[in-house]
Chains A and B, each alone.
Chain A
């Protein structure tokens, strides 16, 4: 193992790790927004919206995220969408993650007992109030853990943007593997950084889950 080489290149990996973190945060935020909208559509009273939500989930979960990224980044200019690689990465991965989060959020909401809504309505709350004051606060607690799983997958999925040459961890590893022919060392550097990010995120999610849990 070439420790000297690793010491020499690790600042570049550290910098790339920040890009991976930034990419993960932005993607997670966009994913949550898409997931909330998607879940709202899937639970809507209107058949057309429900159909739209179901189509969104089916298409984005039914095709590879890599292909979705390629369509957006390479195909986008043909239909007038010009994005740089980082923007395309965030938007592509965010919309993709949103499809998975739609199902997570929807699952948590429909698992709240129907009696809760009925009781709230009986007490004189409007449909809207019943949802925001009774259903959602309970469902939100149930979402934390499964959204944490979505987040874990999302962080690993950010590696895909290496294929559209965003300089994040995997791209950096790939570039140094190419120039140094030391795959194990480069994998070790990138792998450790990924594991730190994922471990820290997992701890954060467990902490939040414990904090919001009603005992």
Chain B
């Protein structure tokens, strides 16, 4: 059959639109995973056992099973209990929760690494425990944890390809649409790979810039 890259321009707009959706879902899921990660970390470290244990079970399940399976559960499972989410929302929730668990591990380590004197000083100055956590400890921990979280977010970009299987028209599914019309899988998957690679490079660039900003403000 051979290769023929001249078919690409005709479907380039379809694939480019997919690119935008991939970026949108990555950003949305990254936000969920970031704030979700902070919440999970605070719960794991400070909540009473009654609240902590169910969260731990949740984390154990999310770390021990594949993301693809989790996406199926969220997309089809919520329908079973009467919640019919659009595929995009299900994808954002699935990706976001999955990576929130990984971010939480990082943030917990970082919170524990913030000097205990910080909490004590904040309490001495009259802040409540919650205030001290929210205004003193967590901001410092989050700052320390931004480089490894950046790596997680780049992993999230790549895993966003999985939401194509629940029907979100992102980059991978857009490539599949073009393939459906042209029967040229090699060319279009290669094109999709190239776009992912470029977005990846862009994210690495942003990550380096953020790291440099943090370094200066110290």
Q: Could you tell me which A residues sit within 8 Å of B by CB distance?
A: 59, 62-68, 70-71, 74-79, 156-160, 162-163, 169-170, 173-174, 177, 181-184, 187, 190-191, 194-195, 198-199
Interface membership of B54, Cβ < 8 A: no
In the complex, which of the residues A65, A76, A163, A170 contacts B158, with contact meaning CB atoms closer than 8 Å? A65
Q: In the complex the two chains form, what is the Cα distance from A63 to B157 in whole Å? A: 9
Known: A67-B192, A183-B77, A199-B64. A75 touches B185 (CB 8 A): yes
| Best-buried of A70, A156, A169, A190 by chain B (most CB within 10 Å) | A70
Interface membership of B34, Cβ < 8 A: no
Known: A67-B172, A163-B165, A187-B77. A78 touches B3 (CB 8 A): yes
Contact with A along B174-208 (1 / 0, CB 8 A): 01000100001111011011001100110000000
Secondary structure type dominating chain A contacts = helix
Interface membership of B142, Cβ < 8 A: no
Contact A75 B189 (CB under 8 A): yes
Interface membership of B159, Cβ < 8 A: yes
Residue numbers in A under 8 Å from B39 (CB-CB): none
Q: In the complex the two chains form, what is the Cα distance from A159 to B165 in whole Å? A: 12
In the complex, which of the residues B61, B67, B164, B196 contacts A191, with contact meaning CB atoms closer than 8 Å? B61
Interface membership of B69, Cβ < 8 A: yes
Apart from the given pairs A156-B66, A160-B162, A198-B64, 15 other A-B contacts in the complex at a CB distance below 8 Å? A63-B197, A66-B162, A76-B186, A77-B1, A78-B3, A78-B186, A158-B66, A170-B66, A170-B68, A177-B72, A187-B65, A191-B65, A194-B64, A194-B65, A195-B65
Residue numbers in B under 8 Å from A183 (CB-CB): 72-73, 76-77, 79-80
Contact A184 B73 (CB under 8 A): yes
Residue numbers in B under 8 Å from A182 (CB-CB): 80
Q: Which B40-90 residues sit within 8 Å CB-CB of chain A?
A: 60-61, 64-69, 72-73, 76-77, 79-80
Known: A78-B186, A156-B65. A71 touches B3 (CB 8 A): no
In the complex, which of the residues B2, B61, B79, B158 contacts A64, with contact meaning CB atoms closer than 8 Å? B158
In the complex, which of the residues B2, B158, B159, B172 contacts A78, with contact meaning CB atoms closer than 8 Å? B2
Q: How far is the CB of A13 from chain B (nearest CB, A)?
A: 12
Residue numbers in A under 8 Å from B172 (CB-CB): 64, 66-67, 70
Residue numbers in B under 8 Å from A199 (CB-CB): 64
Q: Which B3-24 residues sit within 8 Å CB-CB of chain A?
A: 3
Task: List 15 contacting pairs A-B, 8 Å CB cutoff, sorted by A.
Answer: A59-B197, A63-B197, A66-B172, A71-B189, A74-B185, A78-B185, A78-B186, A156-B66, A158-B66, A159-B68, A169-B69, A184-B77, A187-B69, A195-B61, A198-B64
In the complex, which of the residues A59, A71, A158, A162 contacts B185, with contact meaning CB atoms closer than 8 Å? A71
Q: How far is the CB of A204 from chain B (nearest CB, A)?
A: 15
Contact B186 A173 (CB under 8 A): no
Work out how many contacts link A and B, with CB atoms closer than 8 A. Answer: 118
Interface membership of B28, Cβ < 8 A: no
Q: How far is the CB of B123 from chain A (nearest CB, A)?
A: 37
Q: In the complex the two chains form, what is the Cα distance from A162 to B201 in whole Å? A: 28
Known: A65-B158, A67-B189, A79-B186. A160 touches B80 (CB 8 A): no
Q: In the complex the two chains form, what is the Cα distance from A156 to B61 in whole Å? A: 12
Q: In the complex the two chains form, what is the Cα distance from A59 to B158 in whole Å? A: 12
Q: In the complex the two chains form, what is the Cα distance from A184 to B82 in whole Å? A: 13
Contact A67 B193 (CB under 8 A): yes
Residue numbers in A under 8 Å from B201 (CB-CB): 62
Contact B73 A187 (CB under 8 A): yes
In the complex, which of the residues B68, B73, B160, B184 contacts A162, with contact meaning CB atoms closer than 8 Å? B68
Q: How far is the CB of B193 from chain A (nearest CB, A)?
A: 4
Residue numbers in A under 8 Å from B1 (CB-CB): 77-78
Of all chain A residues, the one with the shortest Cβ separation from B184 is A78
Of all chain A residues, the one with the shortest Cβ separation from B81 is A184
Interface membership of B136, Cβ < 8 A: no
Contact A67 B161 (CB under 8 A): yes
Known: A64-B196, A77-B1, A184-B80. A191 touches B158 (CB 8 A): no
